[in-house]
Amino acid sequence: MKLLKFFFLALLLIFVIMQFFRPDKNITQGDHTVDFIAETKPPVEVKTILEHSCYDCHSNNTVYPWYNNVAPISFWLADHIKDGKGHLNFSEWNTYDAKKKDHKLEEVEEMISEGEMPLNEYTWTHEEARLTEEQRNAIVEWAKKTRLLYQADLQPE
Ligand code: HEC
């Protein structure tokens, strides 16, 4: 019994100490996706979906839930955001060349039609981010159309 008590106290202590450590937040003031929007011209519906369902992990600005104040959840979220942004960052669209933009939009098509994005872990707590079939179709259609623009760019002169 004594050992068990010691074990739980130790765990509690670790948890308390953990609270003093916070990962850096992913926050940008102002219109961080202005280049992306100007170039890909998503219809209002698609733009709204991207804002509500994707930007938290795929842009330089995350709207954090309250539980981000609790470690180790904060570290878990920071890790997801870093991973998501590393794969695709709408705030840094102008750093991608035409080939990469085309490829990223191809992946958007795939991820969305397969229902892989937004991640399940996210929609458990962000009910409003879950996509209807209609919304998925709107994204895929926009991605397909926009890819043509980049593919035209890639044609040899
Ligand atoms: C909770 C965070 C989160 C949300 C919200 C989210 N994603 Fe992701 N996304 C990730 C992570 C993490 C990866 C990389 C790992 C993987 O593929 O599962 C990823 C990968 C991707 C990829 C693959 C990119 C590549 O280079 O392989 C695409 C495309 C993508 N997401 C699109 C979207 C779109 C579109 C939305 C909104 C409808 C969205 N994601 C919402 C976290 C997220």
What is the secondary structure of 46-109 as a DSSP string? Answer: HHHHHHHHTHHHHSS-----GGGGSTTHHHHHHHHHHHHHHH--GGGGGGS-HHHHHHHHHHHH
pLDDT, tens digit, for every residue of 123-156? Answer: 999 999 999 999 999 999 999 999 999 998 776 6
Rg (CA), the chain: 20
Q: Give every CB contact of residue 14 below 8 A, 6+ residues apart in sequence.
A: none
Provide the pLDDT for residue 153.
78
Task: Give the chain's residues under pLDDT 50.
Answer: none
62 lines ligand 1 (CB under 6 A): no
pLDDT, tens digit, for every residue of 112-131? Answer: 999 999 999 999 999 999 99
CA distance 36 to 34: 6
Number of other CB atoms surrounding residue 18 within 10 Å: 14
Name the residue of 63, 68, 88 whose CB sits within 8 Å of the most ligand 1 atoms, as the mutation to test its pocket: 88
Domain borders along the chain are 24-154
Provide the pLDDT for residue 135.
98
What single-letter DSSP state applies at residue 11?
Answer: H
Name the residue of 57, 125, 130, 133 whose CB sits within 8 Å of the most ligand 1 atoms, as the mutation to test its pocket: 57
